[in-house]
Chain A
Amino acid sequence: MILSPARWRRPRTDWLRSIATALVALIAWEALARALAGTYLIAGPLEIASYLSDHAGLILRATGWTALAAAGGYVIGNLTAIALAAVAILIPGAARLISSLALIVFCLPLVATGPILRVLWGPGLGPQVTLAALAVYFTTFLPLQVGLRAAPPNWFDLVRSYGRGGWTALVEVRAMAALPYLIAGLQIAAPAAFLGALVGEFTGAERGMGVLTIRAMRSLDVAGTWSLATIAAAVSMLAHAGIGWLWRRLDDAPPPLILASLPDARTDRRWATRLNLILVVLVVIALWWLSMEFAGLNRFFAKRPDDIWAFLVTASGAADHRTTLFAALGQTLSLALPGYALGLALGLGLAIALLMLPALARAIMPLAVALRAIPIVITAPLVVVAMGRGATGTITITAVMTFFPTFIACYQGLKRTPAALIDLFESYAATRWERLTLVQFPAMLPAFFSAARMAVPAAILATTTAEWLATGHGIGGLMALTASTSDYGMLWSSVVLLALVAVAAYAAIERIERAVLRRYGAEQLVR
Chain B
Amino acid sequence: MLVERGSDIGPGITCEGLSRIFGTGAARIDALAPTDLQLDGGRTTAFVGPSGCGKSTLLRLIAGLDPPSAGRVRIGAETPLEMRRRAGLSVAFQDAALLPWRSVRGNIALARKLARMTPDPAKVDDLIATVGLAGFEDRRPADLSGGMRQRAAIARCLATDPQLLLLDEPFGAVDELTRARLNQELPALWQARGVTAVMITHSISEAVRIADRVVVLSPRPARVVADIAVPLPHPREKGPALDALIEEVGAALARHAPAPPPARIAS
A interface residues with partner B (beta carbon < 8 Å): 1-5, 152, 154-155, 157-164, 168, 172-173, 176, 179
Contact = CB atoms under 8 A, between A and B. Distances in A.
Nearest to A152: B97
B142 A159 contact: no
B100 A1 contact: yes
25 contacts: A2-B100, A3-B101, A5-B142, A5-B143, A152-B95, A154-B97, A155-B97, A155-B99, A158-B93, A159-B114, A160-B65, A161-B63, A161-B65, A161-B91, A162-B84, A162-B114, A162-B160, A163-B81, A163-B84, A163-B85, A164-B114, A168-B114, A172-B110, A176-B99, A176-B101
B95 A161 contact: no
Residue among B84, B86, B113, B114 facing the most chain A CB atoms (10 A cut-off) = B114
Contacts of A168: 114
Nearest to A164: B114
B48 interface: no
Contacts of A159: 114
The 4 closest A-B pairs by CB, nearest first: A163-B85, A163-B84, A162-B114, A154-B97
B140 interface: yes
A154 B114 contact: no
B117 to A, nearest CB: 10
Residue among A3, A162, A172 facing the most chain B CB atoms (10 A cut-off) = A162
Contacts of B143: 5
Contacts of A152: 95, 97
A107 B160 CA distance: 50
A154 B149 CA distance: 14
Contacts of B113: 172
B81 A5 contact: no
B79 to A, nearest CB: 11
B111 interface: yes
Interface in B151-179: 160
A4 B141 CA distance: 10
B84 A161 contact: yes
B87 A162 contact: yes
Interface string B104-123: 00000011011100000000
B150 interface: no
Residue among B87, B99, B140 facing the most chain A CB atoms (10 A cut-off) = B99
B32 interface: no
B191 to A, nearest CB: 21
Nearest to A4: B142
B89 interface: yes
Given A159-B114, A168-B114, A176-B101, 7 more contacts: A152-B95, A155-B99, A157-B97, A158-B91, A160-B65, A161-B65, A163-B84
Given A1-B100, A3-B101, A172-B110, A157 B93 contact: yes
B120 to A, nearest CB: 15
B142 A163 contact: no
Contacts of A179: 101
Contacts of B140: 3, 5
B90 interface: yes
Nearest to B82: A163
A55 to B, nearest CB: 48
Interface residues of B, number: 26
B168 to A, nearest CB: 10
Contacts of B63: 161
Contacts of B93: 154, 157-158
A435 B87 CA distance: 49
A3 B101 CA distance: 8
B100 A3 contact: yes
Contacts of A157: 60, 65, 91, 93, 97
Nearest to B111: A162
Given A3-B142, A5-B142, A176-B99, A163 B86 contact: yes
Contacts of B90: 161-162
Interface in B61-87: 63, 65, 81, 84-87
B20 to A, nearest CB: 15
Given A3-B100, A155-B97, A160 B110 contact: no
B11 to A, nearest CB: 15
A3 B84 CA distance: 29
B62 to A, nearest CB: 11
A98 to B, nearest CB: 27
B114 A172 contact: yes
A161 B113 CA distance: 13
Contacts of B65: 157, 160-161
Contacts of B91: 157-158, 161
Contacts of B85: 163
Contacts of B111: 162
Given A3-B142, A4-B142, A173 B99 contact: yes
A172 B100 CA distance: 12
A236 to B, nearest CB: 30
Contacts of B89: 161
A157 B84 CA distance: 11
Nearest to B112: A162
Contacts of A5: 140, 142-143
Contacts of B115: 162
Nearest to B24: A266
Contacts of B101: 3, 176, 179
A164 B115 CA distance: 8
A163 B93 CA distance: 16
A345 to B, nearest CB: 38
Contacts of B60: 157
Contacts of A162: 84, 87, 90, 111, 114-115, 160
A183 to B, nearest CB: 13
Contacts of B160: 162
Contact of A154 (B86, B95, B110): B95
A155 B84 CA distance: 15
B80 to A, nearest CB: 10
Nearest to A3: B100
Nearest to A168: B114
Nearest to B90: A161
Nearest to B96: A154
